[in-house]
Structure 1
């Protein structure tokens, strides 16, 4: 959390570069900027997959009276669990 913080300013300003691995690596690793759940989860999932873990990406919805937002989390299998 201290290394790659949560940040969604670029998304809210309409300046988001997308969630392609190269764009995420540039933003989160090279530029040391924060990201929102899709960026943080995607780069975390890519790192786990690179280490040989079986990863599942899961979408969720956060419902509020004024808006519905989408959220991404990652689960990884360790010892087939």
Structure 2
């Protein structure tokens, strides 16, 4: 199982596509180098943050990076949808 996890981690990390993974509670658990390049955000900055969701009490993208989501803070919609 450990070998399979290492193999999967290598695929994710070396993908040219930005990969961003959350758990069932929208907590960031993984992001790869391409994600860093595309967004300008470091993995260390986003790991553990919750992605969106009105009323969340934990640190999330809108609160941590308000300059990246202008006008979205009131709706708490970091994806701009």
Higher strand share: 1
Q: Taking structure 2 as the reference length, what is the TM-score of the superposition?
A: 0.25
Higher relative CO (Cα under 8 Å, sequence separation at least 6) belongs to 1
